[in-house]
């Protein structure tokens, strides 16, 4: 028997057993098929922490011939203490024969010591036919938990709960497609009730999962902050030729399109990183394109010489003139009453102002060390920060909360206004202020840390409409 | 000291390497990084970066230490040469104090001030702006560009400090091996009192500490000389007394500011380097992967059968079968509507209820008694087909007559769910003998 907890996920075919395994092991590589009977061989999925197995789930084939199996078991009258041995005898008898293949695959891990997680579909009516399966599981003598999986609704949950309580010590309602992290944790705690001897292992697994999640939240916040900074400061520039003066307007739509294309490429790359962070390899996010109009962009024509723009050049030449004047003042022992400095500064400044325009086209190319360029961006619209945050938070939260059991192409419903609407005015002002500081300070500044903390908080909040489904299916349940 | 530059280079290289991992699965990255980390034993953070890069990228290019050393040496030699040039004199000439103060003290001090302004101010500074404009585009858009800028600033401060050290070394050497005679001279009408005032201001920081290093008015007056005048008889020892003042000027106005700004920039750079492990998304993520236990999923490799072929369609109309088998246990609510349909569509039929296994053999026997009669099995369409049903189907198989399966949809179930459940039934039919047909109900039912 393994030292770590092992649970066999069993049940009728097509009741979401593989989905439960995928959700609990956070593994979207578990094969889940809408067609029943695709699982023919029991498959083990382990959750490891630094190589050590914390929890192992066995995805088993569904019962195919439970009535026949029970009939075989009942053929020989045995006392309660011999029932498990009878099940073992069943396995030994049919193993490798091709008969009762699914039942043998299903019962083998249970008889090897695995706890039982019996999965039923709470959206379909209960039927007494299931009792053969439940009776066989009772024969095994292993600790048993039943999970009502409301795949398509909760219409028959009560019916199921009443029946399951007759056969199982614990009954829980758990939707693997929608369960939040808290609900996963609660289910792990339920496992601990099922097998008290494994309580320590399960507590470690729960703690590791929680730490793992917190680490991912922190990393997600860093990625979103970096994306925000990249998009808020993004600009493109293009060298301008003298002959292009008249054509600038005509070239503008193309430049804006190029700007948007690059903006989307940056966002896409970060989005992929978020998907990989939360372990969704098969997600096909469909998010509307980020589109910025020309009116929302800074649009500047810059001219620089030796790396300095005109204003900086004027200041530099004024400073140089003043310094020369100061030398003159010093030479006459201060008798000039600083007029040299003043005059030098004014002359330097004026010559800088007037000279740069003349100089820029007349300097030989080798000496120019600068050029005229057309700069588009960054986005000047203050609401852009909320658009970016809205999109990236919606995506990141959807990925964080998306169950690994889901196999549908994921379309994240993005509403950039949602984040803004959910925020109070004071919070909005704070975010705007932080984003302005982020532009100035960069990612190493305090504003980036404050934004990261805020984003982490936002990510940690449950999604609206999150169904609280990891609860006892019946308060009176044993 | 080399470490600080190496750390910046390591961080840049690490960031570039991690850019390649952006689209990779986090879990796999963590398994890779964590298992590598656990094999390292106790080692420093920077050794980890270095080791990881050696393992997964490439070692830091060599020559960085040589470059820094060469630049430092050149700066030292330049500083030495500057003071050497200022102090070199012919036998009868004196060393011009004003030149020394202007080039040896004011020049470096002004450069230091400008450097300080550039580092503290937000505007671009010509030299840095030029460097930035000439930098490759990946470096300009690099999230670590503030760190690289700061590294360049530290390097420039170190070079300047070594330049100052070269000046100091040259001054000390000249003091030791020659008798320096300082004097001052000007064509303009600068009085000795003015110069004395200036020297007193300059010497203010050490006037209590080392009073001998503050030039007296007598010294200032007596060390004035006129180049065109015949050499005057002066006390040679007196002209050498300027050395204390000049030494302190070099220390306080050239070396000390550089030392302080160098230390400050080093401290800031060190802080930035360490902050990168928390602030840079990729580096912080990498560090987190090394430090946290790796949670990984492992799936046992098994070969499942995969999905069976699904039949495209089935019969469109309810088959008029004289034998109808009701498979499973049905509640009245479930059976009622089905019974109604059967009664309305099939004039006469024999119904076999198979609530459990003991009825199977008896039912099969009854049906097979009339092998040419069609038979239909009515099943719960909301439940998937099972092996037990397949066994029963095989037990009543007939080569002569078709058999039908009718998985009845649950009343009120959404059509898309019904359609999804029907896929299992479509896939089930090919596993049965060829005589079996699927009937999925018609819209009017």
Query: A94-112 pLDDT, tens per residue?
Result: 998 988 999 999 999 999 9
A396-407 exposure pattern, b = at least 16 Cβ within 10 A, e = fewer: bbbbbbbbbbbb
**8-state DSSP, A463:** P
pLDDT at B283 over 90: yes
Tell me whether B123 touches chain A (CB under 8 Å): yes
CA distance B181 to chain A (A): 24
pLDDT band at A471 (very low <50, low <70, confident <90, very high): very low
Cα A200 to Cα A207: distance, rounded to the nearest angstrom: 10
- Scanning B374-393 for CB atoms below 8 A from A yields 380, 382-388, 391
- Segment B156-166 shows an average pLDDT of 94
CB neighbours (10 Å) of residue B106?
Answer: 16
- Scanning A377-436 for CB atoms below 8 A from B yields none
Could you tell me if B199 and B105 are in contact, meaning their C-beta atoms sit under 8 angstroms apart? no
- Segment B101-109 shows an average pLDDT of 87
Cα B222 to Cα A232: distance, rounded to the nearest angstrom: 66
Cα A250 to Cα A320: distance, rounded to the nearest angstrom: 41
Tell me whether A222 touches chain B (CB under 8 Å): yes
CB neighbours (10 Å) of residue A94?
Answer: 17
pLDDT band at A475 (very low <50, low <70, confident <90, very high): very low
- pLDDT in the model for residue B260: 95
Tell me whether A266 touches chain B (CB under 8 Å): no
- Residue spans of beta strands (DSSP E) within A321-449: 372-379
pLDDT in tens, A262-304: 989 998 888 889 988 888 876 766 667 778 877 777 776 666 6
Residue B233 to residues B175, B179, B237, Cα–Cα distance (Å): 22, 16, 12
Helix (H) or strand (E) holding A300: strand A297-305
Q: Which pair of tokens denotes residue A262?
A: 């690059």
Cα A246 to Cα A249: distance, rounded to the nearest angstrom: 7
pLDDT in tens, B25-42: 888 899 899 999 999 988
- Residue A57: burial class (beta carbons within 10 Å; 0-12, 13-18, 19+): buried
pLDDT in tens, B334-343: 888 888 888 8
Q: Are the Cβ atoms of B386 and A13 closer than 8 angstroms?
A: yes
Helix (H) or strand (E) holding B13: helix B2-20
> Whole-model pTM?
0.75
- Scanning B296-315 for CB atoms below 8 A from A yields 296-300, 302-308, 310
Helix (H) or strand (E) holding B103: none
- pLDDT in the model for residue B128: 57
Tell me whether B113 touches chain A (CB under 8 Å): no
Beta bridge partners of B436: B403
Which chain A residue's Cα is nearest to B190?
A333
Nearest to A223 by CA among A277, A265, A259: A277
Q: What is the ipTM of this complex?
A: 0.74
Chain B interface mutation, best of A23, A37, A185, highest count of B Cβ atoms under 10 Å: A37
Dmax (CA) of chain B: 149
CA distance A328 to chain B (A): 11
Contacts of B281 in chain A (CB under 8 A): 219, 222-223, 225-226, 443
Tell me whether A371 touches chain B (CB under 8 Å): no
pLDDT at A1 over 80: no
Q: Are the Cβ atoms of A276 and B24 closer than 8 angstroms?
A: yes
Q: Which of B35, B295, B299 sits opposite A208 (nearest CB)?
A: B295
Cα A117 to Cα A58: distance, rounded to the nearest angstrom: 10
Contacts of A269 in chain B (CB under 8 A): 22-23
Q: Which of A33, A209, A219 sits opposite B307 (nearest CB)?
A: A33
CB neighbours (10 Å) of residue A39?
Answer: 26
pLDDT band at A459 (very low <50, low <70, confident <90, very high): confident
- pLDDT in the model for residue B162: 95
Phi, psi of A391 (to 5 degrees): -65, -50
pLDDT at A26 over 90: no
Cα A181 to Cα A401: distance, rounded to the nearest angstrom: 7
pLDDT in tens, B46-92: 999 999 999 998 887 778 888 999 999 999 999 999 888 888 765 56
pLDDT in tens, A143-154: 999 999 887 778
Contacts of A407 in chain B (CB under 8 A): none
CA distance B231 to chain A (A): 25
Q: Which pair of tokens denotes residue B320?
A: 């008029």
Cα A430 to Cα B125: distance, rounded to the nearest angstrom: 32
Q: Which residues contact B192 (CB under 8 A, 6 or more apart)?
A: B217, B220, B221, B224
Between B268 and B356, whose confidence is greater?
A: B268
Tell me whether A225 touches chain B (CB under 8 Å): yes
Q: Are the Cβ atoms of A46 and B297 closer than 8 angstroms?
A: yes
- Scanning B409-428 for CB atoms below 8 A from A yields 410, 413-414, 417, 420-421, 423-424, 427-428
Q: Give, in degrees to the nearest 5, the angle at Cα A174 between A168 and A179.
A: 155
- pLDDT in the model for residue A118: 94
Could you tell me if A17 and A40 are in contact, meaning their C-beta atoms sit under 8 angstroms apart? no
- pLDDT in the model for residue A470: 40
Contacts of A226 in chain B (CB under 8 A): 143, 280-281
- pLDDT in the model for residue A406: 63
Cα A127 to Cα B344: distance, rounded to the nearest angstrom: 27
- pLDDT in the model for residue B345: 84
Tell me whether A214 touches chain B (CB under 8 Å): no
Per DSSP, helices labelled H in B21-57 are: 26-38, 45-56
Helix (H) or strand (E) holding A44: strand A43-49
Residue B309 to residues A12, A191, A319, B312, Cα–Cα distance (Å): 21, 38, 84, 9
Chain A interface mutation, best of B102, B145, B297, highest count of A Cβ atoms under 10 Å: B297
Tell me whether A442 touches chain B (CB under 8 Å): yes
pLDDT in tens, A391-444: 888 888 888 877 776 656 555 555 555 666 677 888 889 999 999 999 888 888
Tell me whether A298 touches chain B (CB under 8 Å): no
Could you tell me if A46 and A114 are in contact, meaning their C-beta atoms sit under 8 angstroms apart? no
CA distance B436 to chain A (A): 19
Between A375 and B219, whose confidence is greater?
A: B219
Q: Helix or strand or coil: residue A408?
A: coil
Tell me whether B146 touches chain A (CB under 8 Å): yes
């Amino acid at each position: 028997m393994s030292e770590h907890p092992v649970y066999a996920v069993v049940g009728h075919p097509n009741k979401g057993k593989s989905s439960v395994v995928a959700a609990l092991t956070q593994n979207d590589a578990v094969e889940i098929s809408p067609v029943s009977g695709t699982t023919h061989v029991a498959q083990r999925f382990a959750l490891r922490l630094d190589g050590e197995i914390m929890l192992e789930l066995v995805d088993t084939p569904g019962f195919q011939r439970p009535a026949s199996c029970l009939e075989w078991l009942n053929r020989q009258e045995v006392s309660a203490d011999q029932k498990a041995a009878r099940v073992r005898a069943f396995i030994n008898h049919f193993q490798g024969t091709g008969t009762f293949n699914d039942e043998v695959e299903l019962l083998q891990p249970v008889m090897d010591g695995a706890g039982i997680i019996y999965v039923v579909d709470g959206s379909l009516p209960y039927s007494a036919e299931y009792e053969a399966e439940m009776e066989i599981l009772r024969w095994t003598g292993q600790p048993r938990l039943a999970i009502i999986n409301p795949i398509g609704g909760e219409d028959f949950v009560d019916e199921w709960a009443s029946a399951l309580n007759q056969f199982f010590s614990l009954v829980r309602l758990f939707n693997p497609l929608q369960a939040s992290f808290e609900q996963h944790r609660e289910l792990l705690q339920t496992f601990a009730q099922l097998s008290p001897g494994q309580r320590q292992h399960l507590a470690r697994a729960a703690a590791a999962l929680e730490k793992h999640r917190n680490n991912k939240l922190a990393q997600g916040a860093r990625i979103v902050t970096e994306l925000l900074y990249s998009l808020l400061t993004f600009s493109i520039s293009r060298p301008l030729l003298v002959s292009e003066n008249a054509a600038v307007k005509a070239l503008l739509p193309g430049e804006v399109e190029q700007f948007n294309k690059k903006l989307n490429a940056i966002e896409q790359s970060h989005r992929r990183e978020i998907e990989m962070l939360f372990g969704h390899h098969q997600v096909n996010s469909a998010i509307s394109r980020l589109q910025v109009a020309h009116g929302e962009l800074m649009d500047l024509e810059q001219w620089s010489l030796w790396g300095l723009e005109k204003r900086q050049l004027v200041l530099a030449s004024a400073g140089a003139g003043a310094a020369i004047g100061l030398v003159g003042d010093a030479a006459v022992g201060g008798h000039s009453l600083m007029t040299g400095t003043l005059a030098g500064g004014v002359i330097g400044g004026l010559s800088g102002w007037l000279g740069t325009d003349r100089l820029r086209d007349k300097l030989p190319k080798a000496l120019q060390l600068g050029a005229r360029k057309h700069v588009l961006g960054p986005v000047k619209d203050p609401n852009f920060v909320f658009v970016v945050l809205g999109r990236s938070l919606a995506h990141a939260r959807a990925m964080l909360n998306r169950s690994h059991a889901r196999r549908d192409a994921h379309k994240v419903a993005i509403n950039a206004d949602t984040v803004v609407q959910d925020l109070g005015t004071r919070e909005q002002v704070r975010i705007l202020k932080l984003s302005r500081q982020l532009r100035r300070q960069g990612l190493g500044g305090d504003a980036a840390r404050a934004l990261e903390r805020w984003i982490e908080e936002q990510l940690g909040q449950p999604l609206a409409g999150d169904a609280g489904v990891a609860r006892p299916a019946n308060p009176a349940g044993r | 000291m080399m470490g600080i530059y190496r750390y910046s280079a390591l961080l840049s290289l690490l960031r570039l390497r991690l850019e390649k991992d952006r689209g990779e699965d986090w879990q796999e990255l963590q398994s890779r990084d964590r298992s590598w980390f656990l094999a390292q034993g106790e080692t420093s953070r920077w050794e980890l970066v270095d080791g990881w890069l050696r393992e997964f990228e490439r070692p830091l290019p060599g020559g960085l230490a040589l470059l820094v050393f060469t630049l430092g040496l050149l700066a030292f030699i330049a500083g030495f040469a500057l003071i050497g040039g200022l102090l070199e004199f012919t036998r009868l000439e004196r060393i011009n104090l004003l030149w020394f103060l202007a080039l040896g003290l004011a020049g470096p001090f002004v450069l230091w001030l400008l450097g300080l302004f550039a580092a503290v101010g937000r505007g671009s500074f010509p030299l840095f702006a030029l460097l930035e404009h000439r930098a490759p585009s990946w470096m300009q858009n690099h999230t670590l560009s503030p760190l690289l800028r700061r590294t360049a600033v530290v390097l420039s401060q170190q070079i300047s400090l070594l330049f100052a050290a070269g000046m100091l070394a040259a001054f000390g050497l000249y003091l030791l091996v020659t008798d320096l005679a300082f004097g001052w001279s000007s064509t303009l009408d600068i009085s000795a009192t003015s110069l004395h005032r200036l020297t007193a201001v300059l010497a203010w920081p050490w006037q209590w500490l080392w009073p001998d290093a503050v030039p007296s008015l007598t010294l200032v007056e007596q060390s004035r000389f006129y180049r065109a005048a015949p050499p005057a008889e002066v006390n040679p020892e007196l002209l050498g007394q300027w050395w204390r003042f000049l030494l302190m000027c070099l220390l306080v106005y050239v070396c000390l500011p550089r030392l302080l700004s160098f230390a400050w920039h080093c401290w800031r750079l060190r802080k930035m380097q360490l902050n990168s492990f928390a602030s840079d998304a990729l580096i912080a993520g990498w560090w987190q992967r090394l430090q946290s236990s790796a949670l990984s999923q492992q799936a046992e490799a098994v070969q499942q059968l995969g999905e069976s072929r699904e039949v495209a369609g089935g019969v469109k109309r309810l088959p008029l079968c004289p034998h109808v088998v009701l498979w499973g246990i049905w509640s009245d609510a479930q059976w009622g509507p089905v019974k109604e349909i059967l009664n309305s569509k099939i004039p006469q039929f024999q119904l076999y209820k198979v609530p459990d296994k003991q009825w199977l053999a008896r039912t099969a026997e009854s049906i097979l008694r009339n092998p040419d009669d069609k038979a239909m099995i009515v099943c719960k369409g909301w439940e998937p087909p099972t092996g037990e049903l397949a066994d029963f189907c095989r037990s009543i198989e007939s080569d002569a007559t078709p058999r039908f399966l009718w998985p009845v949809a649950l009343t009120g179930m959404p059509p898309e769910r019904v359609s999804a459940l029907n896929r299992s039934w479509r896939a089930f039919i090919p596993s049965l003998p060829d005589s079996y047909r699927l009937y999925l109900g018609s819209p009017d039912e």
